[in-house]
């Protein structure tokens, strides 16, 4: 212990710049004084170590007592090797003499490196740190507790990452005396988990190795490698994983093995070979794996054979295992190729390697083989030609599999492709294999076995094997008549399958483009009833389709679920380059040809049935991608859309018209033709991981080009690089509407935000209309709040051809354009409040785009005129918009108009003159008639008076005699009496004529006559 304290003092003195030799002298004197009472040291009581390197790059070799040993007389310190010295691989530095020596048998050395290939437990120096760096909803304690059980788990030959959305780091610190490197092998197949490897120095600052930080995905079942250069000094290595759980699916963990670090100054001892390996020669740089049915312990020079009658051992075993009794899980049946008689035999075989015994009680024996059955017919496009094997039909011919190959009739061509529905032998362009990430137990086995009307997963070596079936298609080519077409579908692959499972099995369907990267297209967990799945091929490339079946995803090697299997009944591929034909389809003939040679039709042309000639589709129709024969192949475009020049698709030119209340509303969305973006959220996973949904929308215009682009930056590739490699970059999505999941940089402590899970929501435009339904896609009235204006919304309908297990008919998107004058320019995009992810069922997405640019074009009905006052003989007329204004652009507002007018003073004068004249006239008439009335009264009075004085001088017609006995009283009786109006009338017509009234006089005497 005293020596250790002195070594620490020596290190401090070196750091302060004290001379090394002076310190050694002081140390010797102190040590001799302290060791006078201790026994002398033996070689077994101590070992040698190097001191820390000083500023000159030199160091000392000193003897250090072993733990719990106290003795005196340790060897004196001597000058050590230079700090950068190291031995070659297979050697170690023998400290006593400071020379390199070869490793003994049963051990190995990397020279200046260390290797970690045993993962039965976490090796010394490694540590696990689990964190939850998200701003999750809930208490910090609950967040911390949720990650307590998350860690990297040793699995024997490799170490496995966590499967949840905690952030777990596997950490190892190493101090290098010179520049070196770190190398490791890994499996990283699931982009639902984020995997990064980076290095920090002793001050926790990230080293300048950004380009090497992001680890690339690997193909399913294959190991990748990753290496990074290390600088001299302290290096802290981090393997960090973070699950990104956007649904209920469990992520596939990252696997790491064979971590090798180069640049260590020296190795003072060799490493013993781990159990299951051996080294039979001195100076080995690695150990060999024990073959099957042998085993070895740690540090073995050779492997020991098992007693094969009673025990067995897999490759790399450390013990022999007793053979169990044979059961039905230890054998399987196959069908032999057809013989000349058209018969096949059912054969039973043991699963290799055979690990069971038939001589134990209750053990099963192999069932008898050789039962003969009728062979299934050849697959369409093949014919056996009276032989035992099926051969493809020659070019230009076809067959349904039961008849001889025949030439296609004139005016037709073979419909090339593959249709596998009979499984007697594996087709020539298919192969099968078995793979296990942790062992080589199933290497060389068939992953799938043919079974007549289907092909099924094989037995494998253990339940966690990947049983792989591959189909290679060198390319896709549309029929000759549509070679010039530019549609979105070049071909398709359809298969019918089912899974029968009692455990957590998974069937993966993957696609490899141009042999560059394999990506999972779709996966199915647990048992699935018989169903069909179709995948669309949109670009001409070399494809390898893979079906991988795994019974359980656990590290244990067992055969508990051997009866769990996947079955594929048929696989159909259309438009394959090297395909065969089961039928013929009509094609176009050249105008000068009389034979059966087909010619390609120009883009957008269909084949006319009557003449087999190419004819262009009518305007605003697009050519079907499935057939080009007949006028019905031209499909009309939807409302508010028009066809592209080549009739390959329909698109919106941003112009939409609608008639409402005998008024035409015309919309022009050209100002919104640029890509609109929307970030909805935040949302949280079950563990509280924060994420956002990011949408890009290419509404209209651009001649039908899909301008919305979504990319994954999980590999830290720039967008420019993605576009350049878009033909092969699988995480590059171009569509009318696309979606990405965004995890902000503050959510998991990443350097930048993550964009992942990009997919297309709309790759075909259906139409734009004010109606709420189009092609079975509808929008509910309460999906969005009602519009404050009476202007109708315009709905853009889109469809995606991508089919998923949850969306059998593909995804659909509806973008509602709403007029809102308060939101100018690009306006605002939003999603329904009831569906913050834009969708409530995961299949149909809804958006509302509010903008002033979504208002209809202005017309003459949208403004009115206001007339001004007449001033100085001129009058102004102004035009103003109706309020509230719900239109944009269109007809401009007319300019102010000025016209001549008469002033108000003139009309007042005219009115006053007319009034004065009328008043004078009325007064004159009144005076005139008053005077006439006076004359009449005078005449009347005079007549009365005359009558009274001369009673008997009346006209003869009226007797004025007064008889005796009559009264003296007289009565005046008026006859022909006129009203005042009549008098005025008579006066007006006969001014000079005297008109007398006839008055009948009566007296009291006349009554007695």
Q: What pLDDT is stored for residue 788 in this prediction? A: 81
Tokens of residue 981, six digits = 């109006």
More confidently predicted of 451 and 126: 126
* 923 vs 643: CA distance, rounded Å: 87
- Closest C-alpha to 461, from 444, 486, 476: 444
Lowest mean pLDDT among 175-179, 207-211, 444-448, 900-904: 207-211
Instruction: Report the pLDDT value the prediction gives residue 545, as an integer from 0 to 100.
Output: 92
pLDDT at 73 over 60: yes
Burial class (CB in 10 A: 0-12, 13-18, 19+), 203: exposed
Please state, in angstroms and as integers, the Cα–Cα distance from residue 511 to each residue in 21, 100, 548, 642, 739, following that order. Answer: 69, 52, 11, 34, 21
Give the best-scoring range by mean pLDDT among 241-245, 349-353, 623-627, 993-997: 349-353
Q: Which residues contact 318 (CB under 8 A, 6 or more apart)?
A: 275, 276, 295, 296, 297
Map 109-150 to HEC letters: CCCCEEEECCECCCCCCEEEEEECCCCCCCCHHHHHHHCCCC
More confident residue, 385 or 961: 385
Task: Determine phi and psi for 145, rounding to 5 degrees.
Answer: -65, -30
User: How far is C-alpha 889 from the chain's CA centre?
Assistant: 36
Q: Token match 């007697």: residue?
A: 424
Asked if the peptide bond before residue 682 counts as cis, ω within 30 degrees of 0, the response is: yes
The answer to whether the beta carbons of residues 381 and 398 sit under 8 Å apart is: yes
pLDDT at 322 over 80: yes
Asked if residue 168 lies in contact with residue 748, where contact means CB atoms within 8 angstroms, the answer is no
Q: In the structure, what pLDDT confidence band is assigned to residue 652 with cuts at 50, 70 and 90?
A: very high
DSSP assignment, residue 38? S
| 409 exposure class (CB count in 10 Å sphere: 0-12, 13-18, 19+) | exposed
Asked if 582 and 573 count as a contact pair (C-beta separation under 8 A), the reply is: no
Read off the DSSP letter of residue 822: T
> Which of helix, strand or coil describes residue 938?
helix
Nearest to 413 by CA among 352, 366, 364, 482: 482
Of the pLDDT bands very low, low, confident and very high (cuts 50, 70, 90), residue 121 is confident
**Region of residue 701 (phi > 0: left; psi between -120 and 50: alpha; otherwise: beta):** left
The string of pLDDT tens digits covering residues 171-228 is 998 888 778 889 999 988 776 777 888 888 765 566 555 455 668 888 766 788 898 8
pTM above 0.75, yes or no: no
- Nearest-CA neighbor of 398 among 562, 583, 170, 544? 583
Phi, psi of 722 (to 5 degrees): -65, -45
Is residue 28 within 8 Å of 73, Cβ to Cβ?
A: no
Over the stretch 331-367, which tens digit does the pLDDT of each residue have? Answer: 877 777 777 777 888 888 887 778 889 999 989 998 8
Question: Per residue in 488-540, pLDDT tens?
Answer: 678 889 999 999 998 889 998 988 887 766 677 888 988 999 999 988 887 78
Give exposure, 419-431, as e/b (b: 16+ Cβ within 10 Å): bbbbbbbbbebbb
DSSP state of 596: S
Classify residue 563 by its DSSP letter. T
pLDDT band at 552 (very low <50, low <70, confident <90, very high): confident
Identify the weakest region by mean pLDDT among 97-101, 218-222, 851-855: 218-222
Q: What are phi and psi of 318, to 5 degrees?
A: -100, -10
Residue 287 CA to residue 276 CA, distance in Å, equals 9
CA dist 976 → 553, 947, 953, 983 (Å): 134, 18, 21, 12
**What pLDDT was estimated at residue 278?**
95
**Cα dihedral 807→811→814→815 (10° resolution):** 140
Whole-number mean pLDDT of the chain? 79
pLDDT at 20 over 70: no
- How much of the chain, in percent, has pLDDT values that exceed 90? 17
Is residue 513 classed as helix, strand or coil in its secondary structure?
strand
How confident is the model over 827-854, as a mean pLDDT? 89
Calpha distance 121→125 (Å, rounded):
12
In angstroms, the CA 623 to CA 602 distance is 11
């Amino acid at each position: 212990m005293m020596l250790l304290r002195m070594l620490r003092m020596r290190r401090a003195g070196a750091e302060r710049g004290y001379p090394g030799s002076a310190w050694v002298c002081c140390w010797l004197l102190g040590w001799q004084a302290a060791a006078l009472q201790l026994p002398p040291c033996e070689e077994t009581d101590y070992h040698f170590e190097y001191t820390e390197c000083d500023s000159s790059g030199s160091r000392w070799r000193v003897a250090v007592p072993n733990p719990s040993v106290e003795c005196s007389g340790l060897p004196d310190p001597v000058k050590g090797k230079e700090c950068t010295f190291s031995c070659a691989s297979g050697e170690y530095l023998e400290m006593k003499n400071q020379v390199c020596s070869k490793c003994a048998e049963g051990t190995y050395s990397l020279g200046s490196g260390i290797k970690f290939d045993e993962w039965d437990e976490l090796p010394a120096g490694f540590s696990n740190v689990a964190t939850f760096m998200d701003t999750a909803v809930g208490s910090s304690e609950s967040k911390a507790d949720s990650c307590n059980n998350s860690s990297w788990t040793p699995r024997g030959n490799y170490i496995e990452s966590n499967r949840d959305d905690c952030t777990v780091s596997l950490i190892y610190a190493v101090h290098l005396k010179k520049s070196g490197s770190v190398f490791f092998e890994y499996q990283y197949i699931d982009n639902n988990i984020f995997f990064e490897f980076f290095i920090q120095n002793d001050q926790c600052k990230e080293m300048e190795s950004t380009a090497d930080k992001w680890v690339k995905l690997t193909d399913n079942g294959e190991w990748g490698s990753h290496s990074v250069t290390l600088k001299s000094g302290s290096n802290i290595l981090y393997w960090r994983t973070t699950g990104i759980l956007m649904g209920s699916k469990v992520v596939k963990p990252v696997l790491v093995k064979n971590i090798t670090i180069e640049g260590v100054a020296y190795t003072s001892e060799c490493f013993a070979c781990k159990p299951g390996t051996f080294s039979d020669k001195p100076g080995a740089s690695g150990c060999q794996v024990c073959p099957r049915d042998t085993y070895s312990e740690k540090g073995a020079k050779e492997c020991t054979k098992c007693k094969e009658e009673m025990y067995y051992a897999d490759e790399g075993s450390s013990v022999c295992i007793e053979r169990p009794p044979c059961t039905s899980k230890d054998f399987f049946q196959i069908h032999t190729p057809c013989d000349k008689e058209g018969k096949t035999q059912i054969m039973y075989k043991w699963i290799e390697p055979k690990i069971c015994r038939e001589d134990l009680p209750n053990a099963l024996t192999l069932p008898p083989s050789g039962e003969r059955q009728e062979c299934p017919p050849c697959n369409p496009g093949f014919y056996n030609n009276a032989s035992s094997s099926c051969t493809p039909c020659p070019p230009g011919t076809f067959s349904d599999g039961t008849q001889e190959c025949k030439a296609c009739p004139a005016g037709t061509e073979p419909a090339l492709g593959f249709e596998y529905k009979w499984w007697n032998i594996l087709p020539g362009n298919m192969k099968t294999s078995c793979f296990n990430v942790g062992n080589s137990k199933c290497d060389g086995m068939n992953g799938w076995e043919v079974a007549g009307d289907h092909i099924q997963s094989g037995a494998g070596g253990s339940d966690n094997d990947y049983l792989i079936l591959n189909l290679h298609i060198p390319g896709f080519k549309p029929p000759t008549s549509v070679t010039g077409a530019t549609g979105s579908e070049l071909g398709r692959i359809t298969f019918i399958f089912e899974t029968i499972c009692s455990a957590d099995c998974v069937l993966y369907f993957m696609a490899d483009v141009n042999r560059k990267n394999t990506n999972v297209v779709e996966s199915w967990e647990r048992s699935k009833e018989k169903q069909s799945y179709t995948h669309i091929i949109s670009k001409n490339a070399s494809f390898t389709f893979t079906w991988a079946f795994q019974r359980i995803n656990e590290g244990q090697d067992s055969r508990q679920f051997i009866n769990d299997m996947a079955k594929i009944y048929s696989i159909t591929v259309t438009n394959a380059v090297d395909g065969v034909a089961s039928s013929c389809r009509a094609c176009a003939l050249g105008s000068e040809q009389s034979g059966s040679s087909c010619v390609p039709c120009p883009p957008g042309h269909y084949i006319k049935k009557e003449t087999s000639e190419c004819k262009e589709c009518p305007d605003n129709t697009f050519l079907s991608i499935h057939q080009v024969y007949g006028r019905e192949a031209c499909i009309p475009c939807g409302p508010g859309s028009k066809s592209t020049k080549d009739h390959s698709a329909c698109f919106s030119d941003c112009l939409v018209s609608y008639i409402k209340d005998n008024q035409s509303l015309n919309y022009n969305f050209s100002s919104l033709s640029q890509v609109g973006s929307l970030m909805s959220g935040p949302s949280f996973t079950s563990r509280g991981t924060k994420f956002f949904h990011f949408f890009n929308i290419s509404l209209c215009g651009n001649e039908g080009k899909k301008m919305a682009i979504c990319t994954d930056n999980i590999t830290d590739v720039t967008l420019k690089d993605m576009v350049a490699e878009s033909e092969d970059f699988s995480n590059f999505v171009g569509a009318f509407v696309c979606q990405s999941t965004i995890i902000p940089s503050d959510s998991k402590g990443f350097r930048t935000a993550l964009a992942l899970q990009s997919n297309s929501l709309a790759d075909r435009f259906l139409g734009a209309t004010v109606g709420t339904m189009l092609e079975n896609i509808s929008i509910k009235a309460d999906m969005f709040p009602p519009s404050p204006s009476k202007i109708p919304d315009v709905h853009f309908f889109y469809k995606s051809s991508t089919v998923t297990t949850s969306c059998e008919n593909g995804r659909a998107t509806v973008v509602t354009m709403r007029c809102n004058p308060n939101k100018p320019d690009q306006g605002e995009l939003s999603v329904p409040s009831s569906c913050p992810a834009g969708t409530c069922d995961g299949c149909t997405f809804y958006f509302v785009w509010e903008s002033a640019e979504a208002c209809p074009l202005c017309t003459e009905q949208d403004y009115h005129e206001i007339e001004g006052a007449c001033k100085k003989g001129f009058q102004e007329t102004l035009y103003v918009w109706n309020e509230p204004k719900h239109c944009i652009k269109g007809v401009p507002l007319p300019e102010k108009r000025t016209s001549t007018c008469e002033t108000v003073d003139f009309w007042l004068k005219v009115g006053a003159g007319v009034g004065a004249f009328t008043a004078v006239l009325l007064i004159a008439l009144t005076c005139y008639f008053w005077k006439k009335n006076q004359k009449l009264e005078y005449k009347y009075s005079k007549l009365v008076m005359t009558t009274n004085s001369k009673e008997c001088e009346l006209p003869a017609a009226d007797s004025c005699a007064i008889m005796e006995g009559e009264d003296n009283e007289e009565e005046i009786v008026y006859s022909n009496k006129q009203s005042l109006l009549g008098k005025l009338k008579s006066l007006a017509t006969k001014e000079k004529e005297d008109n007398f009234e006839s008055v009948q006089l009566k007296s009291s005497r006349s009554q007695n006559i």
